[in-house]
Amino acid sequence: PLADEGELVRQPLLYRYKVQPGDTVSGLAARFDIAGYYILWNNIDVITDADFLRGGAERQVPSRPGILHGVRYGETLLEIAEEYDAKVVDIIEANELGRDGGIVAGTTILVPNGRLAQPSQPTPGLIAAAKWRYNFSWPTRNVITSYFGPSHPLGIDISAPVGTPIRAAAAGTVIFVGGAACCSYGLYVEVAHGGGFTTLYAHLRNFAVKPGDAVEAGTVLGHAGLTGRTSGPHLHFELKVNGVRRNPLLYLPD
């Protein structure tokens, strides 16, 4: 359930907080006694205090310093720990996973004291090689409403009427299907393409695949919707290399 205005609802691993006029990242960080970058890292659409000030939006705050991670199909605790420079034993303890450390694809776990990888610039040669190897295609064709850059360092937004088929940009394996309709990405799908490349498709209305499915370029993953934090129907599309977000336009065809 959502909190009433200015109130909190305690969840097993996180709080969901409804933003009020005048709230800021720094203010919420002080309220929860947590570093501000954990507020930002756990709400991918929040880039500045100006973004955060949109009243009525719902934010998620970890119950302790760390990163909330959606478990992908086939990944292990060791891989998750390495992705965020964290310790497996801390993840097991924080999530009460038991001795076997079992995790389930599509669930959310807390990575205590985790940190996001810092981006580095790919070389033109590596970009050209990736375009040739993976032959990325557009997940949907329409007007780009937000470009990758300092004010939007996550991916690109492509206008897409509700119900538009959203297609895999390249062949691969579905590693995540889920999300929360209320917040952030909303409902989303993530696909691994090999070689450290993954793509993510957010703000979907529904899903046409499940974790573990093999897909080809052009396979319908779901349909565009209005889930998550969005002012209108569109696709939020990301491309990552070894967990680091890259500008998708460098890899997509002209």
Domain CATH number, residue 28: 3.10.350.10
> Both 163 and 214 in a single domain?
yes
- pLDDT band at residue 232, thresholds of 50, 70 and 90? confident
> Both 159 and 194 in a single domain?
yes
> Both 237 and 163 in a single domain?
yes
> Both 143 and 76 in a single domain?
no
Tell me the pLDDT tens digit for each residue of 66-121.
Answer: 999 989 888 899 999 988 889 999 999 988 887 777 888 888 899 999 987 666 66
User: Is a pLDDT exceeding 70 seen at residue 218?
Assistant: yes
Rounded CA separation 201/220 (Å): 11
> Both 209 and 104 in a single domain?
no
Apex 236 CA angle, 220 and 166, nearest 5: 10
> Both 81 and 30 in a single domain?
no
> Both 189 and 242 in a single domain?
yes
- The answer to whether residue 86 sits within a structural domain is yes
Specify burial of residue 197 (Cβ count, 10 A radius: 0-12, 13-18, 19+): buried
- The answer to whether residue 38 sits within a structural domain is yes
DSSP category for residue 249: G
User: Is a pLDDT exceeding 50 seen at residue 21?
Assistant: yes
- The answer to whether residue 14 sits within a structural domain is yes
Identify the CATH number of the domain in which residue 187 sits. Answer: 2.70.70.10
- The answer to whether residue 2 sits within a structural domain is no
Closest CA to 208 of 225, 189, 182, 191: 189
- pLDDT band at residue 44, thresholds of 50, 70 and 90? low
> Both 231 and 162 in a single domain?
yes
**Which residues touch 45 (CB under 8 Å, ≥6 apart)?**
51, 154, 184, 185, 228, 229
What is the amino acid identity at position 182? C
User: Is a pLDDT exceeding 90 seen at residue 133?
Assistant: no
- The answer to whether residue 3 sits within a structural domain is no
> Both 58 and 86 in a single domain?
no
Domain count, the chain: 3
- pLDDT band at residue 11, thresholds of 50, 70 and 90? low
Domain with 45, as residue range(s), is: 8-62
Rounded CA separation 72/216 (Å): 19
Average pLDDT, the chain: 85
> Both 158 and 237 in a single domain?
yes
